[in-house]
Amino acid sequence: MVDGQRLLALVSILLGSAVQAFPCDQPVVLSNWKSCQIAPLSEEGGAADWKAVPEWTREKAISRFFLNDPRSLANHGLCNAKFHRVVVCWPGWDEGDKNACSYHICDGASWERPKGT
């Protein structure tokens, strides 16, 4: 009976992990990627800059990819609101791996920002 429970647990873990979609596991759809800056940056900086980027980027699992710095995300980031993904195109990204998912996104996505930003 214990072996059956272990097998069931293992199968459920495998099924659960197979459902997750990672950015590079899927075709890059450039129309899903836009500048992360959705509003003007604040003059005082700091916590006030969170108003300039989408609220979902505050999640710890996401914010660690841009060092929890909303100003950097607003200036250098591309966001995929559909799948809640970010790519930060730091200076020098274009010298990296030309086959990497992040390279294709940074190289081809829209950098249009809202008017007034």
Q: For the chain, what are the domain ranges?
A: 22-108
Distance from chain centroid for Cα 116: 24
Output the pLDDT for position 17. Answer: 38
Q: What pLDDT score was predicted for residue 117?
A: 52
Predicted pLDDT at 29: 87
Q: What is the pLDDT of residues 76-103, one digit of tens each?
A: 999 999 999 999 998 888 888 888 888 8
Angstrom distance (rounded) from CA 71 to CA 41:
7
The per-residue pLDDT for 21 is 43
Residue 12, pLDDT score: 45
For the entire predicted model, the pTM comes to: 0.70
Q: Which contiguous run of DSSP H or E holds residue 71? A: helix 70-76
pLDDT along the chain (117 residues), means of 10: 52 41 69 94 93 96 94 95 92 83 82 63
Q: Which residues contact 5 (CB under 8 A, 6 or more apart)?
A: none
